[in-house]
Amino acid sequence: MKPKTLVIALGGNALGNTPEEQLKLTAHTASVIASLAEEGHRIVIAHGNGPQVGMINTAFDFSNQKGGGTPSIPFPECGAMSQGYIGYHIGQAVQNELKKRGINRNCACLVTQVLVDENDGAFAKPSKPIGSFVTKEKAEQIAAQTGFVFAEDAGRGWRRVVPSPLPKKIIELDTVKALSETDSLVITVGGGGIPVVQNKDGFLSGIPAVIDKDRSAALLARELKADMLIILTAVEKVCLNFNSPEQKAIDALSCKDAERCIREGHFAPGSMLPKIEACVDFLEHSAPGSEALITSLEKAKEALHGKTGTRLYK
């Protein structure tokens, strides 16, 4: 296969809910990524941070409110912290795996800001799940104590939700391009990027929100003119009528058919829907021949070679 420029979006199953769990999981993740690097592909990695940013935010709030002497940390700063430690784990694991295989390529983690519109309607409708799953009763208890908003997440439990505005611009894009052009594997837009807004003078400031990492990955793939956007998640293929007796796995999906399936309500808002929308957005703004791929981490290499996964095309 001719080497390609790949933007890979890692889902939560590639990470973990604690630093210890994450260290173990990223070693496996690194093996998959190194296998793709071994084929000569230029790779840029995005990742989620829902459990991690929720953990960091909750810990600081708890300590602040319980007399721990810890200051209250704004949400954008919590996002930056999560980018740093997740990127450290992924980068170190990938670098170690590359070394084992005798591959002489660097791995760089870039703390990244992403511009959003402060008038985005998402700020009035929190929808992005963060933190760990809880029961409905626990969610109601925490909401009463803190004012946090909770929502049921694709049949898996209840999670806190925060605003999820659309990404408009990747602030450090030129740096990502420069690093990628040296054949470094770049970890960027972690957690979708730190959401920032811009005033009339062009100055940036953080805003409390979490950008969907798949949407930021799609924007990144567009700007890098990537050959393929790969979204790695918990399932091998996209399914219609998911979790029902009529469930059907899909091998390939055109943008037109994907939009029809969205209208028919086949994809859950907190799960597969943003992934499909991100793929469609990438393809509709990319050169002919570009592709998007949704599959599991374990099947990434097989899927890249057309043996499994769900491919989306224009």
Q: Is 275 a catalytic residue?
A: yes
Q: Is 12 a catalytic residue?
A: yes
Backbone angles phi, psi at 172, to 5 degrees: -95, 25
The Cα 233–Cα 174 span in angstroms is 28
β-bridge partners, 152: 158
Q: Is the dihedral of CA 4, 192, 197, 77 positive or negative?
A: negative
Residue 105 and residue 98 in contact, taking contact as beta carbons nearer than 8 Å: yes
Angle at CA 59, nearest 5°, toward 54 and 62? 120
**Selected catalytic residue, list 11, 50, 128, 270:** 128
Q: Is 307 a catalytic residue?
A: no
**Selected catalytic residue, list 11, 12, 79, 87:** 12
Q: Is 128 a catalytic residue?
A: yes
H/E stretch holding 46 reads strand 42-47
Angle at CA 204, nearest 5°, toward 199 and 207? 95
β-bridge partners, 233: 296
Backbone angles phi, psi at 223, to 5 degrees: -70, -30
Backbone angles phi, psi at 233, to 5 degrees: -140, -160
DSSP 124: G
**Selected catalytic residue, list 4, 16, 213, 309:** 213
**Selected catalytic residue, list 4, 50, 192, 275:** 275
Q: Catalytic residue numbers?
A: 12-13, 128, 213, 275
